[in-house]
Structure 1
Amino acid sequence: MTTVGYSSIQKGLHWALFALVVGIYLLTFGDDLFQRGDPNRALAWWLHISLGLLLAALVLWRVALRLARGAPALPISMTGLERTVAKLGHFALYVLLVAIPVLGILLTWFRGDALTFFGLFTIPAPFVADRGIAGSIRELHSLCANAILILAGAHAAAALWHHFVGRDEVLERMLPRREA
């Protein structure tokens, strides 16, 4: 299913997810910036987990909208290869946007910690902590986090290429519309 354009909600979710992914990733540097036992280190991880849960909720909303509305048709100027790469890239971004929070939730629980969402509610770990499993999940979570940054960078570069070189509307489809 294709639509004429992205809705303002879809655009807002796109940019909110971008900001959350970058912000959550930056919070992981709390380990390097703060010593063990420093309350700021714990705060960075508390925010990382809370924002990760927010990311998960917004990703579910974004996926639901994508399934309900589809995506606008790609410009006819795009080659078959460009269309294939664009579709595979978007699919990979969605897979990572779903996988990263799921892995983060599992990591938190396998470390023996409860999930908390900005202190509003807490979900205790449903199973016993297991450091071995937690370590494996952490590696996969980190790998996916690095992969999404690389893929998002390629996504942004492609959008800029379309805007400045291809001179088509690919980038503008996701920008807020200016009212005349």
Structure 2
Amino acid sequence: MLASWLLGTYGDLLLRGALGEVGSTVHMCMGLTVLMILLPRLAWRLIDQQPIPEQTHLGVCEKRASTIAHYALYVLLFAVPILGILTQFIRGHPLPIFGLFEIASPLSADQSLARSL
């Protein structure tokens, strides 16, 4: 996650020309990898029995806060790569799948919407 964020945030500043294309492809592959790891992890989380939480002096408030934070992290782990894919499509560019093939953009190019995403 950290490497993908760094490439997405600072890749344009560090990598120019052909290296920029490679950095962009690596960034997209990292995002796809996050999705590929997250799907079985979520299935495992739903299937496997959770351990009984330790009792703390914070009680119900701590349990609710930790549950909300846990679900928020899962939502963000899904949302960020999905928004990246949508941005790629809205730019009118194909989505490279690990350098093996590309998925053509099903959306028409809209640069202002892509910048907003």
Tell me which stretches of 4 or more aligned residues in structure 1 moved more than 3 Å: none
Segment drifting more, 66-75 vs 115-124: 66-75
Out of 86, 91, 96, the residue aligned to residue 111 of structure 1 is: 91
Unaligned runs of 5+ in 1: 1-20, 138-180
Compared CA separation, residues 70 and 22, structure 1 to 2 (3 A): farther
Compared CA separation, residues 70 and 134, structure 1 to 2 (3 A): farther
Checking the alignment, whether the CA contact within 8 Å between 2:93 and 2:104 is kept in structure 1 is: yes
CA distance in 1, matches of 2:84, 2:62: 33
CA distance in 1, matches of 2:67, 2:4: 26
TM-score, structure 2 normalization: 0.89
Out of 19, 24, 28, the residue aligned to residue 45 of structure 1 is: 24
Q: Tell me, what secondary structure is at the counterpart of 2:106?
A: coil
The residue number in structure 2 matching 1:17 is none
Out of 31, 42, 46, the residue aligned to residue 63 of structure 1 is: 42
CA distance in 2, matches of 1:74, 1:134: 43
Counterpart mapping for 1:110-129 below 5 A: 110-129=90-109
Unaligned runs of 5+ in 2: none
Q: Tell me, what secondary structure is at the counterpart of 1:74?
A: coil
The residue number in structure 1 matching 2:59 is 79
Aligned pairs, number: 115
Q: What whole-Å deviation, never above 9, does each CA across 1:4-51 have from its counterpart, x for those lacking one?
A: xxxxxxxxxxxxxxxxx111011121111134xx21111111101111
Q: CA deviation at 1:70?
A: 4.5
Aligned CA-pair RMSD: 1.4
CA distance in 2, matches of 1:70, 1:39: 48
TM-score, structure 1 normalization: 0.60
Q: Tell me, what secondary structure is at the counterpart of 2:92?
A: coil
Out of 20, 31, 34, the residue aligned to residue 12 of structure 2 is: 31
Q: Tell me, what secondary structure is at the counterpart of 1:60?
A: helix
Identity %: 36
The residue number in structure 2 matching 1:22 is 2
